[in-house]
Amino acid sequence: MLDVNIIKKDFPIFNNQPGLTYLDSTATSLKPQTVINALVDYYENYSANIHRGIYSISEKATDEFEKTRSSVAKFINADPFEIVFTRNTTESINLVAYSLGRRIVNSKDEVLTTVMEHHSNFVPWQMLAYENGAIFKIIDITDNGFLDLGTENIKKNIEKIISKKTKILALAYVSNVTGVINPVEEIIRLAKKINPKIITIVDAAQAAPHMKINVRKLNCDFLAFSSHKMLGPTNVGVLYGKKEIFDNMFPFLMGGGMIKEVTLRKTVFTDVPQRFEAGTPAIAEVIAFRKAIEYLDRLGLDNVRQHEKEIIRYCLDSFTDNFKKEVVVYGPQDIEQKNGIISFNFRNYHPHDIAQILDEDNICIRAGHHCAMPLHERFGVSASARASFYLYNSKKDIDKLVEGLKKAKRVLK
């Protein structure tokens, strides 16, 4: 396991908030000192705009900004010109829906997603289908929380769902509620066999912080994730796109920084990725994001994943030992098939009450539908409590969670 006591020293919040038990990294992660320092360093020493100034601090800012693009590309095995910076995963997905989706989806075509999506990978496609008169299709899940594609013969089931009419397939790599890891590579391979022109979009917001991603191996057309869930600053989203598709796409936002030439009569757009980065971006945040990637590289994502597996196992075992059937956990419980997210309900208590009582002891969990209302409806509940783990969490945090739940039981009983 990772040595959490050493890791915690890298995160100033643990020093400033003694006794903090942070179990909501799926919403946003905490930030190491190196990331915070990089933000300050930009503002204190070279806070100039990028791609503009013919002076040294602007050139330095541009250089640092582009270094992050290279780091991100390397992180997911892509090329730097395939990386577009947005504000967040939501904006990345909307970019594809607006710039490409609205041009290729016609009436009676099909747009396919799954019932386990975060609203950010659900609503844009639902709206697109509605506006373009297309059919919005949804892959269901099994009661165990797996995509309902059968275990024996995924191929046969996918052939039933995907056809030449399916223009878009949007799916999560990892569910933000159950933590289930979807067989994305296999699904994309089978989908492209049926319809080589299908556009595949992977929401990797919950995968990128926790496991190695290889876009070449996945062979997805687009992949989106956010910096702030993987130790980086807020307001930086990543959109990976295959060069040949990106090159033929119309811009999403128009304005400064995305043109080659503007005359009174016409505008010539610049090349990708700048074509999709209109306006001044979150310069300091993008620059500091590289420090987050460096931090993850230094620890090693395989070690992070291994660490999380042990925490999940310990949490699930602790729930069973202490509460037996009073706790209902949604989704798979096999640690090989899920990452560090546990959504649950405890007795008949409302998740908000549980979260509130835990907060009295400085334990942070999420309560509600976690921006995944269709999935909660599928499970037949309106809300759940969610504890999620990252590289700075230890078994001690789980012990505190269990104590907190015992307290909730004493209060609400």
Cite the active site residues. 371
Residue 283, classified by CB atoms within 10 Å of its CB into exposed (0-12), middle (13-18) or buried (19+), is buried
Smallest distance, Å, CB 356 to other proteins? 6
Per CB under 8 A, 386 contacts other proteins? no
Is residue 40 within the footprint of other proteins (CB under 8 A)?
Answer: no
Choice between 324 and 410, CB closer to other proteins = 410
Q: Is residue 412 part of the contact set for other proteins (CB under 8 A)?
A: yes
Q: CA end-to-end span of the chain, whole Å?
A: 37
Q: Is residue 352 a contact point for other proteins (CB under 8 A)?
A: yes
* CB-based contacts of 219, cutoff 8 Å, min separation 6: 185, 188, 189, 192, 200
What is the Cα–Cα distance from 290 to 288, expressed in whole angstroms? 5
User: Judged by CB under 8 A, does residue 123 bind other proteins?
Assistant: no
Candidates 137, 290, 369, 386; binder of other proteins (CB under 8 A) is: 369
- Minimum distance of other proteins from residue 351's CB (angstroms): 7
Per CB under 8 A, does 367 bind other proteins? Answer: yes
143 vs 361 by CB, closer to other proteins: 361
- Whole-number Å distance between alpha carbons of 341 and 398: 13
* C-alpha torsion angle, residues 175, 179, 185, 191 (rounded to 10): -40
d(CA 89, CA 121): 9
Residue 360: CB minimum distance to other proteins, A: 6
Residue closer to other proteins (CB basis): 173 or 349 = 349
Q: How far apart are CA 125 and CA 171, in angstroms?
A: 11
Q: Least distance in Å: CB of 349 to other proteins?
A: 8
Tokens of 184: 């994305």
**What residue type is assigned to position 367 of the chain?**
A
Instruction: In angstroms, give the least distance from the CB of 144 to other proteins.
Output: 23
Three-state secondary structure call for residue 338: strand
Length of the chain: 413
Nearer to other proteins, 111 or 375 (CB): 375
Q: How far apart are CA 288 and CA 279, in angstroms?
A: 19
Nearer to other proteins, 297 or 361 (CB): 361
The span of 280-288, 333-341, 355-363, 396-404 binding other proteins (CB under 8 A) equals 355-363
Please report whether residue 383 would count as binding other proteins according to CB under 8 A: yes
Question: How far is C-alpha 129 from the geometric centre of its chain's CA atoms?
Answer: 23
Give the residue with the Cβ less far from other proteins, 18 or 380: 380
Q: Answer yes or no whether residue 145 interacts with other proteins by CB under 8 A.
A: no
Per CB under 8 A, 350 contacts other proteins: yes
409 binds other proteins (CB under 8 A): no
Q: How many residues bind other proteins (CB under 8 A)?
A: 16
Q: Which residues contact 265 (CB under 8 A, 6 or more apart)?
A: none
Residue 344 Cα to chain centre, angstroms: 20
Two structure tokens written together for 185: 């590579």
Q: Determine, following the binding rule CB under 8 A, whether residue 366 of this chain makes contact with other proteins.
A: no
Q: How far apart are the C-alpha atoms of 191 and 212, rounded to whole Å?
A: 23
Token reading at 78: 């892509």
The one segment of 4-12, 102-110, 162-170, 361-369 that binds other proteins by CB under 8 A:
361-369
Which of 63, 216, 382, 406 lies at the binding interface for other proteins (CB under 8 A)? 382
| Residue pair 120/237 in contact by the 8 Å Cβ criterion | no
Q: How far is the CB of 412 from other proteins (least distance, A)?
A: 6
The site for other proteins (CB under 8 A) is made up of 349-353, 356-357, 360, 367-369, 376, 382-383, 411-412
